[in-house]
Structure formats: C-alpha cells, structure tokens
Amino acid sequence: QQQVKQSPQSLIVQKGGISIINCAYENTAFDYFPWYQQFPGKGPALLIAIRPDVSEKKEGRFTISFNKSAKQFSLHIMDSQPGDSATYFCAAGTGFQKLVFGTGTRLLVSP
Amino acid sequence: KAGVTQTPRYLIKTRGQQVTLSCSPISGHRSVSWYQQTPGQGLQFLFEYFSETQRNKGNFPGRFSGRQFSNSRSEMNVSTLELGDSALYLCASSFRGGNTEAFFGQGTRLTVV
C-alpha cells in the first residue's frame, strides 16, 4: 500500500512533442505529490509538486494533473526539448512518513 | 539560501573498510533522509533522521547506520564495505519530512574496489 507505481520506464519523444509520465498510488493518506528531475551524476531536483485540493498545477512547460478518485497523477512536459532529457521520479508523502518514490522514467527527447 | 551540501563528492574505498559520509541540510530543515542509488536503479531509502532521532528506516543491513547532530547535520556510516555498496549516496533535507518539500544534495559517489 506504500508503493507508487510509475510508468513508462522509458520514453522517447520528438522535440516539440508532449511527454507524459504517469503514477498511481494506493494509500489514500498521501497528501503531497512531488516530481523530481535528475540528470546523470546529479542529485534529483524538485520540479513541481501538487496537493490533493487542486486537480492541476502548471509551472512553465510542466503540468501536474491529479485525479483523486482514480488515485493517479501525471506529469506533462509541453514542447519537450533535448535539455529535458533526464530521469523523472514521482513521489508521494503524508504526515511524518518517508516520501515514497516511483521507480523512475528515463526520458529522451530527440532533436 | 545555501542548498544541501554533501561531502565528499567522490570516494574510493577498499572492500572491508568503513566509510563516513556527511550531509549538511538547508538551514532550518530538521529532517534528513538518505538514499542509495545504483546505476539505472531508483532511489532506495536508507533512513530518515528528525531532530537527532531516527524516525524511519529502510530495508538495509546493519552495516549501514547514521546519526544526526543537534545542528541537523547528518552522517551515514557503512562498515565492512562490499563491492555492491558502490553507488551514489544522496541525502535530502526538508523542514519536517513526509509531506513537506524535500531538496537533494549532489550526492557522494562511492566506489568500492
């Protein structure tokens, strides 16, 4: 019940296209859903996060969509660029429990 | 505001040795979590410290231990190193863990030979 399932494992998108990464969770107590971006050899960087009182949050080209009833949330990267090529992790958290991470999605944006 | 600082950035150790890694969290953050990341793998949770107390623990052997000091700085120790311990070790700091923003350091790349 503590798992966060992330898909796809890898994704290839053409420059200018939309990248979509999905996550699903079981624990209804989760009330914080961040996304992280990680480049090789670097630590993950907090990209954008959402709480369940809203269904969508947008920051620049990055949008989180949240579906509370389906217990799913997704990251959309609009106008994907080669510089967006990285590994993306979703996560979920609640209270004082540890953040639970998805397994990661390796995104490659082809020029 | 300074970010999360991990030292050293790179480390090479021999099997059987022990190693200590350090993490200085963002000022005001009281929670520090440690993760192990091997090539192509996800983030494996080691443990979390909050106000000098271990609050959450992952599924790692007792060779992996940690502590947190009164200034919130944290150290993790790995004893009797094995080749399989070669990994990027990451720490993340947050105000109180759980559902608050967590920020990662650059990591310490440990190579065991």
pLDDT in tens, B82-93: 999 999 999 999
Nearest CB partner across the interface for B99, out of A32, A46, A101: A32
Q: What pLDDT is attached to residue A1?
A: 63
In angstroms, the separation between the Cα of residue B97 and the nearest Cα of chain A is 6
Q: How confident is the model at residue A53 (pLDDT cuts 50, 70, 90)?
A: very high
Taking an 8 Å cut-off on Cβ atoms, the answer to whether B48 and A45 are in contact is no
CB-based contact, B96 to chain A, within 8 Å:
yes
Report whether A74 contacts A16 (CB < 8 A). Answer: no
Which stretches of chain B score pLDDT less than 50? none
Reduce the secondary structure of B41-93 to three states and give it as a string: CCCEEEEEEECCEEEEECCCCCCEEEEECCCCCEEEEECCCCHHHCEEEEEEE
Which chain B residues have a beta carbon less than 8 Å from that of A32?
Answer: 98-100
- Identify which of B43, B42, B15, B30 has the alpha carbon closest to the alpha carbon of residue B111: B15
Q: What percent of chain A has pLDDT above 70?
A: 99
Nearest CB partner across the interface for A99, out of B4, B50, B102: B102
Per-residue model confidence as pLDDT tens digits over A56-108: 999 999 999 999 999 999 999 999 999 999 999 999 998 888 899 999 999 99
Q: What pLDDT is attached to residue B1?
A: 64
